[in-house]
Amino acid sequence: MKRVLLIYTGGTIGMMQEAESGTLSPVDFAELGQYIPELNQIEAEIDTVAFEKPLDSSNMDLSHWQNLAAIIEQNYHQYDGFVVLHGSDTMAFTAAALSFMLNGLSKAVVITGSQLPIGRVRTDGKENVITAIEIAAAYRGERAMVPEVCIYFEYQLYRGNRTFKYNAEQFQAFRSPNYPVLAEAGVHIKYNENAIRQIRSESFFVDDRMDNRIAVLTLFPGISRHIVEAALSVKDNKLVIVRTFGSGNAMSHSWFLDALQQAHDNGLILINLSQCRAGAVQQGRYATSRGLDKAGLISAGDMVLEAAIAKSMHLLGVGHSGENFKKLFQANLRGEITEWRQ
């Protein structure tokens, strides 16, 4: 029988609505079977551990990512898979961060949550938890079916660093437009084995170094010069992700390109990432992106914003810069980018 560790960080899924007052209070996850009795029918041994203080995922930060990675590291050899219960708002950021922190991963780390509290009659949380545990415990012989960090939500299993939350009201809250689903749960769980990353030969270890001295600049028609220049001149900042239009295009005003060039010359790393949630940056294809190419911007290809942020923090935290940073940022490290698009 496989062993699965359930890690509760907080979020909507871990709430029970009190009958009299209607208020929501955290569930005692030591008594998880009381709320999801179907867990007793799963052919897996399930243990639980919870953050000392459950978080609303909007408060998730680097220290919490590092805490999660440490829990997985401390328990890695005692369990066959891991399920992380997490608020949906920043779930994709956490999935991306963990994908870079966990090196040589050969077991499933499935992150899930819900749109309705687990104590509500119509909750989506029960199915999400049950199936996430089944996926974490799924093996073919000695090999985990999904040896990577992923998100399970509303019958779909996504690669974690390819995913973003797009809907706050429907149960199908996540999308992964640039990469196919890893599995789909119906009567049976059907795995898309061609899309699942293969286990690498290296041993498992955690590298939780992250540097959050980055900023995101979202362009829009009519953006003022002082906003752009302020974003590019923040003291001690190391990197700016510039969210451009379409396939990586931006205005060609001389003041704008001069500001980018000056920032680049001053040592600031600049990333070109499209505001479009599907497709990829094709820097230099149009005249309006050739100036960005000359100014030294690095194409993010088809990465989602969440992955670009986590990957930037990780590479900076490890100490990469210059051409080495560019090479690694555009390399496919954890399945987060399609290299042929570069």
The answer to whether the beta carbons of residues 122 and 114 sit under 8 Å apart is: no
Q: Are 217 and 268 in contact (CB under 8 A)?
A: no
CA distance 324 to 311: 14
**Residue whose entry in the numeric block shows the structure tokens 């079916």:** 145
Sign of CA dihedral 117, 119, 121, 124: positive
DSSP H helices, 12-61, are 32-35
Eight-state DSSP code of residue 178: T
**Pairing between β-strand 298-299 and β-strand 269-274 as defined by DSSP bridges:** parallel
- What element of type H or E holds 306? helix 305-318
Residue 241: its H or E element: strand 239-244
Would the CA dihedral through 66, 67, 72, 73 be positive or negative? positive
Residue 49's alpha-carbon distances to 106, 156, 301, in angstroms, are 21, 25, 37
Q: Beta strands 15-17 and 24-26: pairing type?
A: antiparallel
Residue from 192, 188, 116 nearest 150 by CA: 192
**Whole-number Å distance between alpha carbons of 304 and 141:** 34
Distance separating alpha carbons of residues 176 and 191, to the nearest angstrom: 16
Token readout for 218 is 């979202």
Instruction: Respond yes or no: is residue 12 known to be catalytic.
Output: yes
Which of 206, 208, 210 lies closest to 77 in space, CA to CA?
Answer: 206
The answer to whether 152 and 128 have CB atoms below 8 angstroms apart is yes
Q: Nearest 5 degrees, angle CA 76-CA 140-CA 77?
A: 10
Active-site residue (options: 12, 94, 112, 244):
12
Which residues are catalytic, by number? 12
